[in-house]
Amino acid sequence: MINLCFSDSEKGALKDAQQYNNGSRAFGYIGACPSKEFLKNHFEGKALGGSSKDVIGVLFQLDIGEIAKKATDETRKTLLYRILKSPFENDEREQNELEKYWNSCIEDLNRLVECAKNGEHIRIWYSDAPYSVCGLHFVMSQIQEFDCKITGIKLPSFMENEDGSVTQYSSWSEVMPGKFYEFLPIEREIPKTLCKVMTQKWRELQSENSYLRAVVNGKLTSVSDDFYDYFIRKSIPDDEFMMARLIGEVLGKYQLAIGDWWLAERIQTMIANDEIKVVKKGDFVYSNTLKK
Which DSSP symbol is given to 65? Answer: S
Pairing verdict, β 241-242 and 289-291 = antiparallel
Q: Would you state the pLDDT for residue 129? A: 97
Taking the model in full, what pTM does it have?
Answer: 0.90
pLDDT (mean) for 79-102: 84
Q: Would you state the pLDDT for residue 4? A: 98
Q: Which residue has the higher pLDDT, 90 or 152?
A: 152
Is the pLDDT confidence value at 36 over 60? no
Q: Would you state the pLDDT for residue 27? A: 46
List, for residues 198-229, the tens digit of each pLDDT value: 999 999 999 999 999 999 999 999 999 999 99
- Nearest partner of 220 among 156, 279, 146, 132, judged by Cα: 132
Is residue 171 very low, low, confident or very high in pLDDT (cuts 50, 70, 90)? very high
The backbone region for 218, taken as left when phi is positive above 0, alpha when psi lies in -120 to 50, beta otherwise, is left
Contact criterion met (CB below 8 Å) for 135 and 106: no
Measured distance between the N- and C-terminal CA atoms of the chain, rounded to whole angstroms: 52
- Which uninterrupted H or E stretch holds 220? strand 219-223
Pairing verdict, β 289-291 and 277-280 = antiparallel
Is the pLDDT confidence value at 284 over 70? yes
Q: Would you state the pLDDT for residue 35? A: 62
The length of the chain in residues reads: 292
Q: Which residue has the higher pLDDT, 161 or 201?
A: 201
Q: Would you state the pLDDT for residue 163? A: 76
Is the pLDDT confidence value at 265 over 90? yes
